[in-house]
Structure 1
């Protein structure tokens, strides 16, 4: 059997430029590549007729963070709450959650102040400009 390894985590967004600015400028992830993909093979693979995707790949350490904006755009998912089956979030390890959160501009939405869980992990959840959840944790 072929060995599997994580390559990327993908997040579909409405506005690639605005969301990329958050992940790059607020969270500090480096941009590895930006590109577009279209054509019959892409449309068939993603099961979206006549699809075009604009992509940004960011350096998430051991895994890439892929932001993708589709044309045509689909309908938005319901509000992202962590306790919904199928809910997703991006977890990013940081050295000091409090220091990262303290440096956020005022417009960055946090779910709460940093917390220490029963397992002893310090965490904070924030939303990117499109409402996607990002967990910051001291792993």
Structure 2
């Protein structure tokens, strides 16, 4: 078994696409409508993200799921976040195992973790 995609509800598809493409680096793979929802699939390496927009534009209840992206340089990501006026919610911090991380919030309240593994 392997992960196919991570699904996130979006209240504003243009804003979500700008965030995940411009900030994170995802590429648009596919758009479709299915069962009353607009679905947009994005790809970054082997990670596939599904943005879901309901006809009513409603966001379902928040969950405790977060997305974690491994980065080569946490410092470079921090510089990019500051340039784009993205607020850091937690971190940067060094974990007990030597990894360094920080968290930001995505356009619909989802938590995004950037993590630099110990070199």
How does the TM-score come out when normalised to structure 2? 0.85
Match of 2:64 in 1: 87
CA RMSD of superposed structures (Å): 1.8
Larger Rg: 1
Question: After alignment, is 104-113 or 24-33 more displaced?
Answer: 104-113
Match of 2:45 among 35, 47, 61: 61
Q: What is the rounded CA distance, in whole Å, between the counterparts of 1:59 and 1:75 in structure 2?
A: 22
1:61 deviation in Å?
A: 2.1
Find the residue that maps to 1:6 and give its secondary structure: coil
Match of 2:97 in 1: 119
Q: What is the rounded CA distance, in whole Å, between the counterparts of 2:111 and 2:48 in structure 1?
A: 17
Match of 1:18 among 15, 29, 34: 15
Query: Higher strand share goes to which structure?
Result: 2
Find the residue that maps to 2:104 and give its secondary structure: strand
Match of 2:32 in 1: 35
1:39-91: per-residue Cα shift (whole Å, max 9, x none)?
A: xxxxxxxxxxxxx111221113222011111123445535xxxxxxx511011
Q: 1:120 to 1:30 in 2, by over 3 A?
A: same
Q: How many aligned residue pairs are there? A: 116
Q: Given the alignment of the two structures, is residue 108 of structure 1 paired with residue 86 of structure 2, yes or no? A: yes
> What residue ranges of structure 2 are gaps of 5+ in the alignment?
none
Q: What is the rounded CA distance, in whole Å, between the counterparts of 2:85 and 2:60 in structure 1?
A: 22
